[in-house]
Amino acid sequence: MALDDRKSDFNFVGTRPDRPDGLDKVTGRAKFGADVSAPGMLHGAILRSPHAHARIVRINTAKAEAHQDVKAVITRADFSDKPEFRPGLEGEFWNVLENVMAGEKALYDGHAVAAVAATSALAARDALKLIEVEYEVLPHVTDVDKAMAPDAPVIREGAADYSVPEGMHPNVVRYHESGHGDVEAGFAEADLIVEDSFVTEATHQGYIEPHACMGSLGADGRGELWCTTQGHWYAQKYCAALVGIETAQLRVTASEIGGGFGGKTTVFIEPVALALSRKANRPVKVVMSRSEVFRATGPTASASMDIKIGMKKDGTITAAEGIFRLQGGAFPGAPGDMTAMCAFAPYNLTNVRQVGYDVMANRPKQAAYRAPGAPMGAFAVESVLDELCNQLGLDPVEVRLKNAAYEGTKANYGPTYPRIGLVETLEAAKAHPHYAAPLKPGQGRGISCGFWFNHGGETSVSLALSEDGSAQVMVGTPDIGGSRASMALMAAEVLGIPYENIRVTIADTATLGYNDVSHGSRVTYASGLATIKAARHAIERLCERAAAKWGIPVDAVKWENGCAVPSGPNAGDFDPMPLADITADMGATGGPISGHFEATPEGAGVSFGTHIVDAEVDPETGKTSIIRYTVIQDAGKAIHPDYVEGQYQGGAVQGIGWALNEEYIYGEDGRLQNSIFLDYRIPVASDLPMIDTVIVEVPNPGHPFGVRGVGETGIVPPLAAIANAVSNAAGVRMRQLPMTPPRILAALKDNG
Amino acid sequence: MVEVHLWSGLRSLTGGRQVVEVEAKTTGELLRELVRAHPQLQAPIDAGVSIAIDGRVIASGLTEPIPPGAEIYLMQRLRGG
Amino acid sequence: MSKLHVSTTVNGDAVEYLCDPRETLLDCLRDKLNLTGAKEGCGTGDCGACSVTVDGRLVCSCLMLGVEAEGKQIETVEGIADGDILHPLQKKMIEYAALQCGICTPGILVAAKSLLENNPNPSEEETRYWLAGNLCRCTGYDKIIRAVMDTAAEMREAS
């Protein structure tokens, strides 16, 4: 779509109405994953490996099966490695199955090895103790650098793909290298080169709602699944494959979802509930405990990174090089390639080279976490930029502006950027009162830029009009942050009827075509685009009916402010015909009026942000306080600004947790040491200041209203911005996250 | 002919070439022709690629038209959270 | 294990249930009384999603046994609105877009209501510390704190 076709004057878009699900959510009425039950329902529980790496010699389920409260016990043998309709599970299907229920080996502390269904949740938990598992404990590795070392235990032979150079350890399963120019020549031109290494620990998405589902599967191969998920068509496809039934025979309904952030883009307990249900012939509900969530569901990758950047005295970057090693658990999938491609993306670089590794270790299978791979890379790169600015005495915003990518820049990952909004966010940062505000002794300021690609993905939307002129919109992307409000605003804008007259529903898999997961910041972009196009489709039908009533050609009718109107003086002299006048008798004038759109939109539009943060470090205790925080990010077009701000604020605060508190801590035994919220500490209200936001709008040419996704970019800059603030406050460069008080004290001590 | 820029990690599969010329009017044709010219590119394409046409990233579509003279970059398939 | 009979009052209604002595008040509210507004986010008293009041005192219902509810007055999120009239806190939470996914919202509302009953004029710091036991992963708390403080101001004006 050309830029000048795009709508820029809006009646509904950009306003801040109440969300349609608000009442249900403030009264306790909204149904989340664990909030359902069914007649005859059983409760499932899962037995998990206490070992980081062990061969499963034998599982004896006889005692559990004999217990009167137990109705089914399952192990890997109850899943389908070779389902009838998808012969031979391979690739990611096999990986997901192996993660859902261990096969020959338990690959991490918390890996599922068996499950039971019993008449109560307590009985199910008790019955797990009756299952006897004999393990042969194997050597394990949990650290990324150690997992790449020649003597590291091998997690799985043959998991590496085409990309891995010969001679690497079998735990290295993917290699990425890209860039352009001649970095050696570039470094030769530099007045100053800073080379440094950085480490980040794995963090968890930390959604407050644990995974929960209820499954029902009969011997006839037909099933029902209710679950909390970011993508119920994905759940349908994977569960059907894992239990060996046809995809269409499993109907999946998405519950209200209590947070996801990427962690609910796959299945864990859902195939288990279905397999238990098939064996017990009753519905089975499975709800994870918090400890299970930490031990067995998707943390992000941990990372070890080496960065080298050369700069001239005037701040021009002459060359940049990064090596990013990401550990993603006992399966391929750590986003080393994404880290490599995103880390230098904000800058206009003549010479750049980036290398990414995907490394396996004895930890849970990493899952996507908000701009997966990007935050850690930004932490390393933006820390080195900060150090260069400090050593050359240059202003960090000016240096970023001097090197910033803009329309026409050759991106570090190859192509030439179309219209992007990085410079606008930097200019807004420079002009923001926060950037000029004085700092007190002991305080430091940090800034960072961040980049994320954003995504489109398969999308289906149906819009049906009612006789009274109201509209129902069926979308297939679970609402994780207020998207129903955004969809209703976009539909209202196109149809010209009030926001309140539109009801948006998250359709189940049986009532709408396929939809990709709510991920990649794609919902407002892709489901929004599809909603707009479905509404336009319905308007075509409405115009046809009006034309027939007026007896004029359909191309002589146009749609304006919720009414059919003649397209010009030659079309005839008719009063505007409101939508409700057309729908009132639609059954008799041609039948129900609906609009549909199905496609894979391919114009998501990349996104940039700049964050400013002030931190104060207590030199006695090493404790860091965030004093002030400002998020500036390009939204393309903010459909419902409240929820755009909410995404900015939420991303920043998750970043604060990652930077200061949150980490997976493994013991020498390979067991996770901090699997509850008391020990894995996410930010609480008293840790934080207000989070200021600035919404920059540089419209995305790939969306009818200019939308760019906003969900993920907001977590990219905080790690680096906070590390820079803390380093400037403490007077010592912090190279490892999280910057816990002991690490800060140790750094201060090392610095003398 | 369309010039397709590969990421540098793929040079080992194309005899050291980072720019490959193929005849293609759509993204699907382009991938097919890439494999015909350099069969070892089948592996990265199977693992998932995206194609940037004049800076616009086509995540997975095989039917996107390729205008004459367009700037084409092959990229690793994007993933989101 | 034999079950125990409990008689208690929830949101003003007399109720009874049979429970295993190991079951928490949260289990009983959700599974026996079908009051699923309170959520289990952690089961260890760290997240506050299960917040209720017991005889006026704010507690995590996952840390209290179901049998301990005998003879008590329990208030849950389901009892905050007066029929179809929302409590000012509920209205402000919607107006301020102070929820994204909404899983923490029931606990936040119960805790915030308890705050305003104890302190009708809380400072930002007091509000943040009072709600420090209620985890929210979506919002960064900004809009929640603003909604609670604005509710307090409005209720002071009204009274």
pLDDT tens-digit profile of A249-269?
999 999 999 999 999 999 999
Q: Which of A321, A41, A340, A29 is nearest to A196 (CA)?
A: A321
- pLDDT for A315-341, tens place per residue? 999 999 999 999 999 999 999 999 999
Q: In 3-state terms, what secondary structure has residue A240?
A: helix
**Smallest Cβ distance to A416: which of B43, B55, B64?**
B55
Going by the DSSP 8-state scheme, the letter that residue A485 receives in this structure is: H
Query: For the segment A421-465, what is each residue's pLDDT rounded down to a tens digit?
Result: 999 999 999 999 999 999 999 999 999 999 999 999 999 999 999
Q: Are A117 and A78 in contact (CB under 8 A)?
A: no
* Interface with B, mutate which of A163, A175, A265, A647 (most B CBs under 10 A): A163
Q: Do B75 and A341 make contact, defined as CB atoms within 8 angstroms?
A: yes
Distance from CA of B4 to the nearest CA of A (A): 11
Q: How confident is the model at residue A82 (pLDDT cuts 50, 70, 90)?
A: low
Does the beta-carbon distance from B58 to A177 stay under 8 Å? Answer: no
Partner-chain residue, chosen from A32, A650, A690, that has the shortest CB–CB distance to C100 = A650
In A, which residues are within 8 Å of C39 by CB distance? 32, 34, 208-209, 258
| Banded pLDDT at A752 (limits 50, 70, 90) | confident
Interface test with C, best of A23, A208, A693 (most C CBs within 10 A): A208
The interface predicted TM-score of the complex, written ipTM, equals 0.98
In chain A the domains, ranked by start, together with CATH numbers, are 3-29+456-599 (3.30.365.10), 373-454+605-750 (3.30.365.10)
User: Is pLDDT of A2 > 50?
Assistant: no
The pair of three-digit structure tokens given for residue B29, joined into one six-digit string:
């044709």
Mean pLDDT confidence for A132-161: 97
Radius of gyration of chain B (CA): 12
**Residue C75 near chain A (CB below 8 Å):** no
In the structure, do chain C and chain B come into contact, i.e. share 3 or more CB pairs under 8 Å?
no
As a whole number of angstroms, the distance between CA A61 and CA A710 comes to: 48
pLDDT category, A91, cuts 50, 70, 90? confident
> How would DSSP label each residue in B24-45?
-SBHHHHHHHHHHH-GGGHHHH
Counted across chains A and C, CB pairs separated by less than 8 A come out at 185
- List the subunits that have 3+ CB pairs under 8 angstroms with C: A
Q: Go through the domains of chain C in sequence order and give each one's CATH number.
A: 4-79 (3.10.20.30), 88-158 (1.10.150.120)
Neighbour-count burial of A751, counting CB atoms closer than 10 A to its CB (0-12 exposed, 13-18 middle, 19+ buried): exposed
Separation of alpha carbons A466 and A480, rounded Å:
27
How far is Cα of residue C68 from the mean position of the Cα atoms in its chain?
18
pLDDT number for residue A509? 98
For residue A738, say if its preceding peptide bond is cis, omega within 30 degrees of 0.
yes
Q: Between chains, do A415 and B59 touch, taking CB under 8 Å as contact?
A: no
Mean pLDDT taken over chain C: 97
Which residue would you say has higher pLDDT here, A88 or C111? C111
Q: Give the whole-angstrom CA distance, residue A560 versus residue A304.
A: 57
Question: Which two tokens mark A298?
Answer: 């998707």
Residues 6+ apart with CB under 8 A from C3: C18, C19, C20
Which residue of C lies nearest to A206 if distances are taken between CA atoms?
C137
Distances (CA, A) of A710 to A405, A548, A609, A638, A713: 19, 43, 10, 9, 6
pTM: 0.97
Closest alpha carbon within chain A to C49: A208
Say if the Cβ atoms of A603 and B56 lie within 8 Å. yes
B57·A606 Cβ contact <8 A:
yes
CB-based burial label for A466 (10 Å; 0-12, 13-18, 19+): middle
pLDDT at A81: 65
Domains by residue range for chain B, with CATH:
2-76 (3.10.20.30)
- Reported as a single tens digit per residue, the pLDDT across A289-315 is 999 999 999 999 999 999 999 999 999
Which residue from B minimizes the CA distance to A357? B9
Measured CA to CA in angstroms, residue A21 lies from A9, A17, A482, A568 at distances of 27, 12, 8, 41
User: Measured between CA atoms, how close is C2 to chain A, in angstroms?
Assistant: 13
Distance CA A344, CA A378 (A): 8
* Single-letter residue type at A166: E
- Estimate the crossing angle of helix A718-730 against helix A741-750, to 10 degrees: 50
Mean pLDDT of C14-24: 97
Q: Which chains touch A (3 or more CB pairs under 8 A)?
A: B, C
Task: For residue A199, list its beta bridge partners.
Answer: A304, A736
Q: Look at the block and give the residue holding tokens 């009264």.
A: A27
Residues of chain A contacting residue B40, judged by C-beta atoms under 8 Å apart: 162
Asked if C63 has any chain A CB less than 8 Å from its own CB, the reply is no
pLDDT above 70 (res A83): no
Per-residue pLDDT band at C100 (split at 50, 70, 90): very high
B39 and A CB contact within 8 Å: no
Dihedral (C-alpha) A744, A745, A747, A751: value to the nearest 10 degrees?
Answer: 140
For the sheet with A352-359, list strands across it: A172-180, A352-359, A317-327, A302-311, A192-200
Confidence of residue A6 (pLDDT cuts 50, 70, 90): low
Residues in chain A closer than 8 A to C43 (CB atoms)? 289-290
Whose structure tokens read 């803009």? Answer: A406
Residue A603: alpha-carbon gap to chain centroid: 18
pLDDT in tens, B21-58: 999 999 999 999 999 999 999 999 999 999 999 999 99
Banded model confidence at residue A85, pLDDT cuts 50, 70, 90: very low
Query: Are the beta carbons of A691 and C46 separated by less than 8 Å?
Result: no
CB A463 within 8 A of CB A473: yes
Residue A1 has pLDDT above 60, yes or no: no
3-state secondary structure string, A252-265? Answer: EEECECCCCCCCCC
Tell me which chain B residues have a C-beta less than 8 angstroms from the C-beta of A265.
81
What's the pLDDT score for residue A292? 98
Q: Which value, to the nearest 10 degrees, does the dihedral of the CA atoms of residues A99, A104, A107, A110 take?
A: 70
**What burial class does residue A141 get, using C-beta atoms within 10 Å of its C-beta: 0-12 exposed, 13-18 middle, 19+ buried?**
buried
What CA–CA distances, in Å, run from C146 to A638, C93, C127, C149, C156? 21, 9, 10, 5, 15
Could C39 and A690 be called an inter-chain contact, meaning their C-beta atoms sit closer than 8 Å? no
Q: Would the CB atoms of A30 and C90 count as touching at under 8 Å?
A: no
The tokens describing A652, both together, are 């920043």
Work out the percent of chain A whose per-residue pLDDT is above 90: 95
